[in-house]
Structure formats: C-alpha cells, structure tokens
Chains A and B, each alone.
Chain A
Amino acid sequence: MTAILEARAVTKRFGVDGPPAVDGLDLAVAPGAGVGIVGESGSGKSTLARMLAGVLPPTSGEIAVGGRPWTAVDRRDQLRRRVQMIFQDPYGALNPWLSARDAVAEVIRFWDRPTRAEARERASQLLADMGLTADAMGRRPRGLSGGQCQRVGIARALACAPDVLIADEPTSALDVSVQAQILNLLVALREERGLAIVLISHDLAVVRHLTEDAAVMYAGRIVERAPTHEMFRSPAHPYTRLLVGSIPGMSGGEARTAHDPGVADHPCRFAPRCPRRADDCIAVRSHDPHLPGGRWAECVHPHLPAAAPVQRTQTQHGGRT
C-alpha cells in the first residue's frame, strides 16, 4: 500500500544557529493507519505536525501527500482538505473574532458551497456531536472553556472530511469523560471512513488506545519505532524506557539526569542523559537500527525486547466500580 502522507528526510531549522528542530526524519502514513508520536517537550513534534499538514515548509527534504509534494498542491486542490490538523493550543488555533459556529461554518461554506443556512446547520450538528451546547456555539473563544475550544478545533478539522488527521495533543484540555467520547468518535471514524491518524500526545494511554504504531521523538529525531503495545511493554531505546517509566503510577524509570537535549555534540542526542552510554555510541548514526523481532531503535546498546518489561505498580484506582 502506498503512503497517503510521507515525510522523506525532512529537516527544519529555525534561524542559523543551534540544532535543527527536526533533523532528517522519515515517516510514512498508510491510508487508514494510526501512528502515534510521543516524545520530550520541545523535541519537534509540533514542528513535524505543521510540516505534515503543509503549513510550514521544511528546510530540506520533502513531504508528499497522495504521492505529490506539498509544494505542488494548489490551495484550492481537494487534496488540501484531505489532510487536516488539530493544533496544540486550543485557544490560539481559533480566530478570536469568530464564534464557534461561524468558525466551523466558514470551512463548510468554503469547500462545499452550500447555502449559508445549511452551512450553519451542519456546523451546529458537528459541534453538537462534540458535545457543545447551542449557547456555547454562539460564543467566541474567550467565552469558552479550554475543553470547549479544543472541541471546536476538532469539529473544524472534521468538517473538511479529511483522510488524514494530524492531531497535536487533541485531548489535552479534556476531562476523561469527554476525552473518552472524542476518542471513541475518532476510533469510529477510523473504522467507518478509514481515517488515518497521526496522533501526537504525551498521554501514552491515549496513544495506546488510538494507534497501532508508535514513534518516539527525541531532539528532532525518531529514536524508536514499534507497534504501540510492544513499545510500552518492552521499550528498547533508553529514552523510551525513561518516558514509559515516568508515567504517574508506573515505576521502573531510571533516575533522571541533567535534562539538556540541546547541547549534545554527540551524534546520539540522548547521550548526555543516557545510563547505557558507551564509547562506541559515537557510531549511532551508522549503526543498523533494526533489532531482532522486527523492532527498530536508533541506539547502539538498546534494551533488547526480551529484557525485563517495565513494571507497573497496580496501586491506582483500586476503588473502580
């Protein structure tokens, strides 16, 4: 199956000094696939998402959508609407001067050219599906709660009937109950319409729920790729291990050392914090990332999948009913 969205060796550099925000990264999203991206804050996830959505041009490399590079896609091309993104900042992504309903209706009118009344009708319906009340729909972002704004952003993206949804922390402002509603909705869209999802989230439970494949980013690079459940069961890269071990309620994470993903001159950006670092780690970029069992990690001394899984302490929510 050919990829519907593909990043080939993309690099994004802001300014002239400092390490690139995204550094020579490859990623392919097949139609209907669910890809999760997790990683350190500031590791370049949102930058990658913007490039995938075609709103930020890469410094080098190429993003192809349906086999064509973004640079060759005209603004009004129907391909444009097929890739949609949910932005990380729920307030910032909405036009402060438009009400929730108008923001969604604007997209519908733009792409489908229905009558004004019909567009409003459809927008109201979409927002109601997201659990927004009629009263809230008439308000501008400043009059909405964080979770309400986030749902407006999701409704606006879905109004385009996309084939690929790039979701940058889509449920971070939602409580568990509404989050469950939205996640169930996304699961249903994947099953019914074959929507592909690129999900960026620091909430590993959400990633696990919605995706089959996961990639871990660290300092602009993907350091590990694996089927989602295996990644959490037996993380191979030392950083993934740290990440999985830091989940509240999980134990087994190694003690954190100085946190400075930027300074490494080392080809392995994680080296300054890595407990397994050795002299031969310099060769990490030329080292074969393929591991036994179909796993993949950019690391010279990975934890082999057979290694002891991270222990989860089951003290949580003992009183679930």
Chain B
Amino acid sequence: MTGPLLDVRHLSVEVAGRRVLHDVSIAVDVGGSLGIVGETGSGKSMTCRAALGLLGRIGGAVVAGTATFAGRELTALSRDGWRAIRGRQIGFVPQTSMSSLDPVMRIGRQIEETVRVLDPGADARARSLELLEAVELPRADRIVRRHPHELSGGMRQRVMIALALAGRPRLLIADEVTTALDVTVQRTILELLGNLRRQLDMALVLVTHDLAVVESSCETMAVLYAGATVEAGPAGTLCTAPSHPYTRALIAAQPLLTDGGPLASIPGAPPEAGTPHDGCAFAPRCSHADGLCLGGTLALEPVSAGHVVACRRVREVVR
C-alpha cells in the first residue's frame, strides 16, 4: 500500500452550528506514530472523534475535507462500515476514559464482552486477563471482579487501554492516555505501545500535552491551534527547532525540572473554537504578527522535507 494509513486533510467539523475544526490535516503511516499537541480546546479530541465517526452522538458533522483510512474514505462511511472499522481496525482510548466504563458492570465482564465481539476466536477469559496484564495491572484476576469505582484513576485508564487493544487494531488513537499515570507506569505503557507497534505493525496516534512524551515516543508530530493544524513534521525537528510562533511558545512554556521561578505562559487566550477570524488565528497573541498576517486563509506550506507550517512570516520567525 502506498500513502499514509490514516490521512486527514483539511477537515472541518461543525457541532451545534459552531465550526470547532476548520482546517485539520494529520497523517500517520502504517506502523508509524504521530503525536498531536495543542492548547486545551484546540480540537484534539474532536479530531479523534471525527476519525472514529463518533461525531453523530454529540450532534456534530464533517462539513468539509476528507479522511481516509487504508485508502477508504471515512466521511462517507455507513453505520455498518463504521462497525467494521471501530475497535477492529482503529482502537480508541477516549479522554473521558476515567468515566467511560459502565459503572454497574464488573471490569471482567466489560472486557470479556468486548473480546467476544471483536475477537470471537479467542478464549474471552484468558484473553482479557492477558490484556490486563499487558497494561501492567497487577493481579488481573482480582481486578476483573471489581467495579470501576473501586479502581484508582490510573487503573481505570489502563483498563480502557486494554479494551482498545482487544480487537488488535491497526491503529490506536489514544487521547491523553498517560495523564493519570505516574511516570514509572507511564514509561511502561509507552514501552508497551512501542512494542506493539513493532510486533503488530500497529500505528499510534497519541494526543497529549506532554511534549516530552511526544518527543520520546513519536516519530511525527502535529500542532493544533484553534481548530486547525499550524505545524506538522518530524517530532525531533518540531521539539528542537520549531518554526511556527505558537509551537515555539508552547515549547518555551514547558516546565523543566531544573527551572524555578514563575512559569512562562503564552499571553492571551486562544479564540473560542467557532469564532470566525480573518487571517492567522494566532495573530492577537503572536509577537511576530504584522499586517501580512491578516486577511484571507492560511495554508500549510512546506519549509523542509516533511515539515509544513501555516505561518506567513515563517522565514522571518525562524531567522
């Protein structure tokens, strides 16, 4: 197969009449790994929902753009088409994972039920224990008998990762999976996902605000701002030599263990998704903004191989 496994281009999404995404482009290769970063409310989770056909449940719809998975157009998929993809081809760990488990069903039953549907050949019991152990949950045999509220936040998150892996997907989309995990477990989970990528050629989309995680576990990276991709390229390049003023500010705001003093934050607030703007959405907060940045729409322009940026003054900025 040629081309990326998941290829989202110029995606626009409306929810309740508001344009929450207006130009998102992301791509991940077979067995590749992509980190999506961006300010809260920038549309990271919404992009994941769109890639999984879960917009309908919140009253949203794709209004422009395309999304293909293994060459198949996703935006035109029927319900049955989605059923064949969700879980089996694309696994998903939602950001609400701490509260998405059914509160009245034991963990074991929830996993077994999923295994039975997604992986009918397997021995549901054995496979669910195997999955729980894979995500570093100690004493899986006891965890299966518990209800979700009897687990810690990090444990619930790991149960959700196990559920997403049940169908042996070709792509795993993980929305803030490691947020509730301490660094030792986080490291193990990231290693586990890395191993799965190698063994099963599973591709990974990792949504996170932790740039260190992206740098250490992802090959490529996309930066979202106010519902649009503003920069994408190799993770190493973006972390060490970012081009877009927003990415640069984001990396400068990263708290470091060696630092003291007040933390740098990006002045101002992002526009609420859905508010129409002219020209560059970052302009009101950008120290490089000038008249050139206003008016029209911005497009992603290549600055080097595989590295694209949506900024009109990028040459001046990086200089």
> Could you tell me which A residues sit within 8 Å of B by CB distance?
14, 18, 38-42, 45-47, 88-89, 91-92, 131, 133, 135-136, 142-143, 145-148, 169, 172-181, 183-184, 187, 202, 204-206, 208-209, 232, 242-243, 246-250, 256, 259-263, 312, 316-321
**Is B176 an interface residue when CB atoms closer than 8 A count as contact?**
yes
Q: 27 pairs across A/B with beta carbons < 8 Å?
A: A40-B185, A88-B180, A89-B98, A92-B99, A131-B269, A142-B58, A143-B58, A145-B41, A172-B179, A173-B179, A174-B209, A177-B266, A184-B263, A205-B256, A205-B259, A232-B257, A243-B183, A248-B210, A248-B213, A256-B187, A260-B138, A262-B138, A263-B138, A317-B211, A317-B254, A318-B240, A320-B254
Q: Is the CB of B212 within 8 A of A246?
A: no
Contact between chains at B185 and A181 (CB < 8 Å): no
Report the bound CA distance from A208 to B158 in whole Å.
26
Which one of A45, A91, A135, A263 contacts B98 once the chains associate, using CB atoms below 8 Å? A91
- Given A208-B257, A259-B184, 5 extra CB contacts under 8 A: A142-B58, A176-B209, A205-B255, A259-B136, A320-B254
Residues of B within 8 A of A40 (CB): 182, 184-185
Q: Which of A136, A202, A256 contacts B182 (CB 8 A)?
A: A202
Chain A nearest CB: distance from B207 CB in Å? 10
10 interchain residue pairs of minimum CB distance: A147-B40, A41-B154, A180-B265, A180-B263, A175-B209, A248-B212, A202-B182, A133-B272, A89-B98, A92-B99
Knowing A41-B182, A88-B180, A172-B180, the reply to whether A319 touches B251 (Cβ < 8 A) is yes
Which residues of chain B in 150-167 are interfacial with respect to chain A, using CB atoms and an 8 Å cutoff? 150-155, 158
Which of B99, B256, B263 has the most chain A CB atoms inside 10 A of its CB?
Answer: B263
Q: Name the A residues within 8 Å of B179 (CB-CB).
A: 169, 172-173
B98 in contact with A261 (CB, 8 Å): no
Q: What residues of A have a CB within 8 angstroms of the CB of B186 in the complex?
A: 202, 246, 248
| B224-256 to A contact mask, C-beta < 8 Å, 1/0 | 000000000000000111100000111111111
Cα of A146 to Cα of B259 in the assembled complex, Å: 27
Contacting residues, chain B, for A180 (C-beta < 8 A): 253, 255, 263-265
Give the interface centre of A38, A142, A319 by most chain B CB atoms within 10 Å: A319
Contact status of A202 and B266, CB under 8 A, knowing A18-B142, A42-B152, A317-B240: no
Residues of A near B45 (CB, < 8 A) are 145-146
Given the complex, which residues of A lie within 8 Å of B39, measured CB to CB? 175, 177-178
- Quick check: B262 and A184 within 8 Å, CB to CB? yes
- Minimum CB distance partner of A17 in chain B: B142
Q: How far is the CA of A209 from the CA of B263 in the complex (A)?
A: 9
Check B213–A148 contact: CB distance below 8 A. no
* A312 x B258 contact (CB < 8 A): yes
Min CB gap B242→A, angstroms: 6
Partner of B187, one of A147, A176, A206, A248: A248
**B297 adjacent to chain A (CB < 8 Å):** no
Contacting residues, chain A, for B251 (C-beta < 8 A): 317, 319-321
Q: Chain B residues near A181: list those with CB within 8 A.
A: 265
Of residues B142, B185, B257, which shows the largest number of chain A Cβ atoms within 10 Å of its Cβ? B257
Any A CB within 8 A of the CB of B79: no
* Known contacts A317-B239, A317-B240, A319-B242; is-contact A187 B262 (Cβ 8 Å): yes
CB neighbors of A among B60-109 (8 A): 95-96, 98-99
Complex contact A46–B153 (CB within 8 A): yes
Taken together as a complex, chains A and B put the C-alpha atoms of A246 and B213 apart, in Å, by 12
A235 CB, min distance to chain B CBs, angstroms:
13
User: When the two chains form the complex, which single residue of A41, A183, A256 contacts B152, counting CB atoms closer than 8 Å?
Assistant: A41
Write the nearest CB–CB distance from B61 to chain A, whole angstroms.
16
B63 CB, min distance to chain A CBs, angstroms: 18
CB distance from B45 to the nearest CB of A (A): 6
Indicate if B37 sits at the interface (CB-CB under 8 A).
yes
Collect the chain B residues with CB atoms within 8 Å of residue A175's CB.
Answer: 37-40, 209, 250
Give min CB distance, B229 to chain A, whole Å.
16
Contact A148 B182, beta carbon cutoff 8 Å: no
Q: Whole-angstrom distance between the alpha carbons of A51 and B251 in the complex?
A: 37
CB closest residue in chain B, given A184: B262
CB distance from A316 to the nearest CB of B (A): 7
* Interface membership of B216, Cβ < 8 A: yes
Contact across chains for A41 and B181 when beta carbons are under 8 A apart:
yes
Q: Least Cβ distance of B268 to chain A in Å?
A: 10
Contact of A88 among B138, B139, B153 (CB under 8 A): B153
B103 smallest CB distance to A (angstroms): 10
Contact mask for chain B residues 250-286; partner A; CB cutoff 8 A; 1 contact, 0 none: 1111111111101111100100101000000000000
In the docked arrangement, what's the CA distance between A262 and B197, Å? 30
Contacts of A92 in B (CB 8 A): 98-99
Expressed in whole angstroms, the minimum distance between the Cβ of B188 and any Cβ of chain A is 7
Interface-centre pick from A18, A39, A89, A183 (highest chain B CB count, 10 A): A89
Q: Does the CB pair B96–A256 fall under 8 Å? A: no
User: Inside 8 A of B181's CB, which chain A residues have their CB?
Assistant: 41, 202
In the bound complex, how far is the Cα of B248 from the Cα of A133, in angstroms?
24
Q: How far is the CA of A180 from the CA of B99 in the complex (A)?
A: 26
The reply to whether B154 and A42 form a contact with Cβ atoms under 8 Å apart is yes
Centre residue among B136, B251, B255, B272 by max chain A CB count within 10 A: B255
A302–B259 CA distance with the chains assembled, in angstroms: 27
Contact A316/B212 with A173-B40, A174-B40 known, Cβ cut-off 8 Å: yes
Asked whether B139 lies within 8 Å of A263 as measured between CB atoms, the reply is: yes
At the interface, yes or no: B219 with Cβ under 8 Å from chain A? no
Q: How far is the CB of A142 from chain B (nearest CB, A)?
A: 7
Considering the chains assembled together, what is the distance between the CA atoms of A145 and B40 in angstroms?
7
